[in-house]
Each structure stands twice: as C-alpha cells, then as structure tokens.
Amino acid sequence: MTVSDKSSLIRLNRYLARAGVCPSRRKADELIASGQVRVNGQVAQLGMRVGPDDIVEVNGVRVVPQTQALYILMNKPHDTITTCEDERGRRTVLDLINLPPEQKNGLFPVGRLDRNTTGVLLLTNDGELANRLMHPRYRVEKIYVARTARPVKPEEAEQLRRGVQLEDGPARAVQVAVNPADPHEIALMIYEGRNRQVRRMLEAIGHEVVQLKRTHYAGLTAKGVRPGKWRRLTDAEVRRLYRLVGLKPPKTFKTLPIGHGDANAVKR
C-alpha cells in the first residue's frame, strides 16, 4: 500500500462502515477476518489502515465510502417493510425515497419497525452513528403509542414498568402512561429495540395490540411529515445525535443540503 499522507489514513473497518458494506465496525472486522476483503489485491488484515489512493474490494467488487452523509427522517406508513429490499416484492421504506441511485447507495434503516408499525424511522449511510444509536448501551429513547383491544389497567401498566419476561430475556419500559380519557391507549418509553418488543411486552400481560406507532426516536418526531413522506435532518439535529452517542462528526463527512433533489422534503 502506497500512501504519502498518513493523516488521510483511516482504519479499514471504519472505511467499510462508511461505504455502507457493514452497519458497524464490529461487523466489518468479521468481514475482514473472513478473508473476503482485499486491499490493493492483497487479503486485508485486521487493524490495517487505508487511504484515498487504495483499492478496497469485497468479494471482488470495489467499494468506496460515501463522501457525503445522508440522514433521513421518515414517517413510516402501514404495510411497509423496514429493509433495503424484499425478496417477496413487498414495498420497502427505500421504495418511498425518490433520490438518485448514487445518493441512495449505502442508505439503510436504523433499526426496524415491523410491517404494520408506523411512525418515526431514521435512515442513513453513516454506519458508525447508526450502530451506536441502535446499541442499548447509549440508552436512546424510543416512545411508542399502542392501541389495545381491551382497556389497560393501572396494575398492568405497573407490571410493564417492573418488567416482563419474553422468550429472548426480560424487558421493561422506562416510562409507561395510560391515557386516562381512553385506557385503550398506552404510551411506553424503552431504550432497547428488539424485534417486535413493544407488541410482545403487551402480549405478555395479555393485551392484543390493534395499532402501534413510534412517536419519538432519540428526541426526533415526525411532526409535519405525512405518513409515507420524509425529510432530511438538519445539521443541528445531526450534531445532536452525534453528541447523544458520544461521537464527533467526521471532518470529511459533510451532509447533503436540505432540498437537494428532495421532492418529499417538508418545507419549513
């Protein structure tokens, strides 16, 4: 590897995460260890650094990190899959984003909302930020509002605060509030983001969920964004997310301006 300016070098695992190949450095390290990554024709080693003049390939295909970061807040609609593509041809959240292919390349949802859960969803090509936002260690707040088939009793809400046992371990809500005017409606704040967690927590205390919406994610809401529409995060919102998980925005990772090719952006 020939690089003249050492200050331009970054670790290969971070390079792969920025390229959208892996959602985190840990996953990138696993990919490197498997021997699927080559740098300048040679099998890559864990811990190595690369620069802009290096040729990085994954399974024979060259990968390049995004030079501009993209941060999208979507109001996810009903009957939409939270994946980049679906082998059964169902509508995905990426299908709702009308950006040029070169901008959508590497874009992925931060965590998951199941098919019939609506509300706030973040998408980005910034793997490092996404990985931290999804990690329970950083206690990122998520608020869900559920509508149940029968009224929720105060003692059942307290049970959710104390915690319930799920098949993949215990789970508890940080805060719980039942709507006093309509006890069929209950709000839960959680830090984790396990598969169908809120639905399963309510099912664990005997409640069928009729509707479920995520109203807040990391302090962000879908206010002003209609279901199925999206907007870019402002620079201030992105900086706040970085601070929330203890990161500094990379100097070479600039956000695309709001409104640049963004037909679905909310005018504010």
Cα–Cα–Cα angle for 125, 194, 134, rounded to 5 degrees: 30
Question: Crossing angle, helix 127-134 and helix 25-33, to 10 degrees?
Answer: 110
What is the Cα 22 distance to its own chain's centre? 13
102 DSSP assignment: H
Residue 76, helix vs strand vs coil: strand
114 catalytic per annotation:
yes
Closest CA to 245 of 142, 133, 136, 141: 133
Catalytic residue among 29, 54, 86, 114: 114
In angstroms, the CA 239 to CA 6 distance is 27
Q: How far separated are the first and last CA of the chain, in Å rounded?
A: 48
**C-alpha atoms less than 13 angstroms from C-alpha of 8 in its C-beta half-sphere:** 8
Tokens of 44: 């890559």
Q: Where are the beta strands (DSSP E) in 2-63?
A: 10-11, 37-39, 42-43, 49-50, 56-58, 61-62
Active-site amino acid positions: 114
